[in-house]
Structure 1
């Protein structure tokens, strides 16, 4: 089995995960977080998720549909939260 066929079920989550990173970065900017600290923490978390993804894919592949749904829901909720905070509703 090729690498691409193994990660194919996770491609939407990878794409939406990048969108989530943008949402979290915008939340950091609107909250006035130091960009150097935010960038450093983002890199650390990306490396952690890369390690989890690399070693956990074989275990999690049977739960791909649930993981994709939960990840998409989290991204949706964070997006709404960041938009509401940006317009100062919350």
Structure 2
């Protein structure tokens, strides 16, 4: 999905993050779309867009600060495990 072409290996590499950036930029209902370069680099813009998504859909309660702290990581785990296996 979202242009991911790599192996389903459970690793979050650049290809995974490029797909996530595309998702965060274009998914209908995304509360704070990602507006950066689709480069697979997990920088503050990627994290802010991810945090906005996690806040709306997966119980993240922290600030949209671009820092992947423990609350962001816990909500990201909830998001990852809420989707069926491919």
TM-score (norm 1): 0.23
Larger radius of gyration: 1
More helix by share: 1
